[in-house]
Amino acid sequence: MEKILITLNINDKPCEVMVYPNDTLLEVLRDELDLTGSKESCGEGVCGSCTVHMDNKPVRSCLTLAMEATGTKIKTVEGLASGDDLSDLQQSFIDHGAVQCGFCTPGMLMSADALLKDNPRPDEKTIRKALAGNICRCTGYAKIIEAVAHTDNPQDQCPDCKTGSKTKE
């Protein structure tokens, strides 16, 4: 099998990279492009740690071939912040204590970010459903769900919305 040159659009930048036809997008992101924010936890599409956006939709990069990603817009966790400015969702994760070991966090953020783009103020049930494909072993999900729910909808009674640097309304 020979490597082929492809161009991927990752975090709004064109990236030329040599890939084998059977390389997964996750392998290319991590091994070729040094974007190690996307994690491999199960390698079989169950845990969601490798979630990235392909044309604004969350996909599992461990089950996506790199070649399938040509001609699409890929966004990884590294593309959520603008430089040093975190997105509201990232800040909300920090403020609400939604990060423990942090291994599932990138995938969790990408699933949640896709949800919020469609529905900025989802109810709890919608959030639980949207995150059902992302396994977290540390948090019990409660603080993650709260972080997502309060990103665009801070609550006065939430002690952790007040500590945020970007409290809205």
**Using alpha carbons only, what angle is made at residue 92 by residues 78 and 141, rounded to the nearest 5 degrees?**
95
- Interaction of residue 99 with another protein, rule CB under 8 A: yes
- Interaction of residue 109 with another protein, rule CB under 8 A: yes
Q: Which is nearer to another protein, 21 or 71 (CB)?
A: 21
Which positions from 22 through 41 interact with another protein, judged by CB under 8 A? Answer: 30, 34-41
Q: Which is nearer to another protein, 74 or 99 (CB)?
A: 99
Q: How many CB atoms lie within 10 A of CB 38?
A: 22
Among 106, 115, 116, 161, binds another protein (CB under 8 A): 106
Return d(Cα 104, Cα 92) in angstroms, integer.
16
Among 74, 134, 150, 154, binds another protein (CB under 8 A): 134
Q: Which is nearer to another protein, 55 or 132 (CB)?
A: 132
Return d(Cα 7, Cα 156) in angstroms, integer.
47
Among 86, 152, 153, 166, binds another protein (CB under 8 A): 86
Asked whether the beta carbons of 148 and 122 are under 8 A apart, the reply is yes
Residues with Cβ within 8 Å of 98's Cβ and at least 6 positions away in sequence, in order, are 92, 105, 108, 139, 143, 144, 146, 147
Residues with Cβ within 8 Å of 106's Cβ and at least 6 positions away in sequence, in order, are 37, 38, 39, 49, 51, 76, 77
- Interaction of residue 105 with another protein, rule CB under 8 A: yes
Residue numbers of the site for another protein (CB under 8 A)? 30, 34-44, 46-47, 49, 76-78, 80-81, 86, 90, 93-97, 99-106, 109, 124, 127-129, 131-145, 159-160, 163
